[in-house]
Amino acid sequence: MKYLIQNLETERLRFRLLQHSDFKAWLPFFDLTASYSHLFLDASKSKEDLCEFWIDKTLTRYQENRGGLCVLENKDSGGFIGMCGLLVQEIDGDTRLEVGYSLLPNYWGKGFAIEAAAAAKNYGFQNSYDLDFGCSVVSMIHIDNHPSIKVAIKNEMLLEKTFIAEKSESFHVYSQQRENWENNHK
């Protein structure tokens, strides 16, 4: 299972692989119908179907060596906070290594997203995963997802480009090059 974040902890978070048994903990995320277009989710499906689809897609990524989102647990309580990881993605015709993150709403605005995203990005560079993807790590973010844009900027990423993806939705690609990362982490 390539590009997966395993055995990583930050000050407040623990990364672990997703399991089918996480369904109930992740289901409340799908109450956020306004986020569906940011994540290519089909609004005509039930939240249960979307949650099952998300879990199945993530587990398939694991098996196909395309990385995947990992569960973020609060180290103190063991509670499920959200998901973050490295994903091999086709972005505007190029295969890229993306830092992806999604949190349950109760954990928004508390610094968990930047803590997780920075750890994931650093993990990708430290393990040289970026070398398979043009020596960079990216985050693809819907242009209306302002909180995630702030996370990418705090995560030392710069706007690389904006493009139109499926369903005519516009996305920004924020990236950091290995050389820049190395200079910032000497």
* Ranges of each domain in the chain: 13-184
Which positions ≥6 away from 138 have C-beta within 8 Å?
91, 96, 97, 98, 99, 157, 160, 173, 174, 175, 176
Which of 6, 24, 39, 27 has the alpha carbon at shortest distance from 123? 6
Q: Which two tokens stand for residue 32?
A: 């956020």
Looking at domain 13-184, what is its CATH homologous superfamily?
Gcn5-related N-acetyltransferase (GNAT) (3.40.630.30)
Instruction: Give the Cα separation of 47 and 60 in Å (integer).
Output: 20
Query: Rounded to two decimals, what is the model's pTM?
Result: 0.93
CA distance 143 to 108: 18
- The conformation of residue 7, written as its DSSP 8-state character, comes to S
List, for residues 55-102, the tens digit of each pLDDT value. 999 999 999 999 999 999 999 999 999 999 999 999 988 999 999 999
User: Residue 47 contacts by C-beta under 8 Å, 6 or more apart in sequence?
Assistant: 27, 30, 31
Contact 120, 67 (CB under 8 A): no
C-alpha R_g of the chain: 15
Tell me: the pLDDT tens digits for 5-61? Answer: 988 999 999 999 999 999 999 999 888 766 766 676 777 888 998 999 999 999 999
